[in-house]
Amino acid sequence: MDSADLALAVDLGREALLMAVKLSLPALLAAFVVGGLIAVLQAATQIQEPTVNQVPKMGAIALVLLIAMPWFLSSLVDYTAALFAGMGAWLK
């Protein structure tokens, strides 16, 4: 394996990880914000029920995924198209 193959593998792996982070960030941020708000509410009311925290987080994540689904799909289609377009150069 020469250095060009190694550099290509590293670049492809980096791009895949960046795509995964880019796609997961909206859902993670929604869970973080809702979790923080619920934690403040639980601290103020002294209700320490674990399901009070989990159900709103799941709802927020589902809502974000539903709203952002067109953006997710277009990002994945663009990424996949770029991968397939570059395959001809990689296989030389």
Residue range 57-62: mean pLDDT, rounded: 95
* Amino acid 88: pLDDT: 80
Residue range 57-74: mean pLDDT, rounded: 96
Residue 37's pLDDT band (cuts 50, 70, 90): very high
* Amino acid 20: pLDDT: 96
What is the Cα–Cα distance from 92 to 79, expressed in whole angstroms?
Answer: 21
* Amino acid 1: pLDDT: 66
Evaluate if pTM is beyond 0.85.
no
Residue 46's pLDDT band (cuts 50, 70, 90): confident
Domain holding 50, by residue range, is 3-90
What is the Cα–Cα distance from 84 to 78, expressed in whole angstroms?
Answer: 10
- Number of domains, the chain: 1
What is the Cα–Cα distance from 56 to 31, expressed in whole angstroms?
Answer: 8
- CB count in 10 Å sphere of residue 56: 16
